[in-house]
Structure 1
Amino acid sequence: MSAQTLLSLANANPAPGTPENAALILIDAQEEYRSGALPLPGIKGALENAASLLAHWRAKGGLVVHIVHHSGPGDVIFDPNGDFVAILPEVVPQDDEAIHIKNVPNSFGGTGLQESLEKAGRKNIVLAGFMTHLCVSTTARAGHELGYGVTVVSDATATRDLPLPNAIAGAEQADSTASFIAADKLHQAELTMLGDIFATIASTQTLVSGE
């Protein structure tokens, strides 16, 4: 038996969200991930694709929501008073686009995101931004549990290398390359897990072309 997702087993393969029926949610597209303490190896291409998605949603009159992360003042990352909390200029919000500030990985947690979606009558969300394994994943799972149809844009998200648990614990490694999971592998693994049941995984080209 070939590998199948739970969605496929249930004969449920929802189509990706569109500007007509879904909100585009840009998660944590902030300088911290380009110029700060957490530079992502795949951010250039992911950001270009996020900008293309944003332009497409705007051209079609779709709902756009921006999520930004703030830690505590003086924290090492996402200091709200620091230089790297700013939204990246490629995807800077327009005046009519909502911005929600979060303090946890879940974009629904303690923000007005759900209220914004309900007010606009949107039952579907399309997620782009950073990082794939953390805030994008957590938001996708939360959205699924809240009853939203979720699309994650595979090439408009990115993540970073992560140390393996045994490396964190200080275990000796005979091969240094085995002490971490590379960003691209982690990215693909997380998308695979999300695509099992939580989300439709689609490329920027698929969403922009409508194919």
Structure 2
Amino acid sequence: MTTLPETTALILIDVQQAFNDPSWGARNNPDAEARIAELLGHWRARGRPLFHIQHRRERPASLFHIDGPGFAFKPQAQPLAGEPVLHKDVNSAFIGTDLEARLRAAGVTALVIAGLTTDHCVSTTTRMAGNYGFETYIVGDACATFERTGPDGRHYGAEQMHDIALASLHREFATVVSTREVVAALA
């Protein structure tokens, strides 16, 4: 990555308070939100297009219920007035939203994606972005996920889940990059 064209948009996925709940278990990359804030600051300073994606659920017991505290954005990714916020009900930011139409209307050709969680909504959105033909970058150090238990009861640590998700995306659906690389490519 040398430079990012002016037609590159930043997509921040589900940087929400719900992921602070201890029920998720152990998490990797405690610095993800700081990296997201760094990306967002540089992006805003250059006036590039950006989109905030917010997961929502109608079920009152959900951590993402629209009236619950988990629905709120984390302070590091709080949208400013006028910045687009798209609400999704499934893993992909492209399903049930007008994200693709907005990107096409804005002439966006490339996407930089970061957020929570690496192996769920970030991965699903990244896969679809690649399938839709966008030049797609996923910022590995600006994503995080949680430990998981497989159907056979086997435990997978959060770092392992994160690394495998990135490895699965790299060179197939997107290019995995770092915050430092993205910031340098914006200069």
Q: TM-score, normalised by structure 2?
A: 0.93
Match of 1:151, SS?
A: strand
Contact map agreement 1:16 1:151 (CA 8 A) in 2? no
Distance 1:100 1:39, change over 3 A: farther
Aligned to 2:143, the other structure's residue is in SS state: strand
Matching residue of 1:187 = 162
**Change in CA separation of 1:117 and 1:191 when aligned onto 2, cut-off 3 Å:** same
- Mark the runs of 5 or more structure 1 residues left unpaired by the alignment: 1-14, 168-178
Backbone CA RMSD of aligned residues: 1.8
Q: Which runs of 5+ in 2 are unaligned?
A: none
**Structure whose alpha-carbon radius of gyration is higher:** 1
Q: Distance in 2 between matches of 1:17 and 1:110?
A: 32
Distance change (3 Å), C-alpha of 1:146 and 1:83:
same
Aligned with residue 84 of structure 2, among 90, 93, 98? 98
Q: Does 1:151 align with 2:130?
A: no
**1:165 is aligned to 2:151:** yes
Alignment of 1:80-119 (within 5 A): 80-119=66-105
Measure the CA separation in 2 of the matches of 1:116 and 1:108.
Answer: 11
Confirm or deny: 8 A CA contact 1:20 1:60 kept in the other structure. no
Amino acid at match of 1:185: Q
Counterpart of 1:68, as a letter, is: Q
Distance across 2 between alignment mates of 1:51 and 1:122: 22
Superposed, which structure 2 residues align to 1:61-80 within 5 Å? 61-80=47-66
Secondary structure (helix, strand or coil) at the match of 1:156 reads strand
Q: Is this contact kept in 2: 1:49–1:204, CA < 8 A?
A: yes
Q: Distance in 2 between matches of 1:104 and 1:127?
A: 17
Give the Å deviation of 1:40.
Answer: 5.9
Tell me, in whole angstroms, the C-alpha distance in 1 between the residues paired with 2:2 and 2:31: 21
Indicate the residue corresponding to 2:19 in structure 1: 33
What aligned pairs does 1:8-23 form with structure 2 within 5 A after superposition? 15=1, 18=4, 20-23=6-9
Q: Deviation at 1:36?
A: 6.2
Kindly provide the CA deviation profile for residues 162-186 of structure 1, in whole angstroms up to 9, marking residues without a partner as x.
002211xxxxxxxxxxx31001011
For normalisation by structure 1, the TM-score amounts to 0.83
Amino-acid identity (%): 34
The one-letter amino acid paired with 1:61 is G
CA contact (8 A) 1:71 1:79 kept: yes
Aligned length: 186
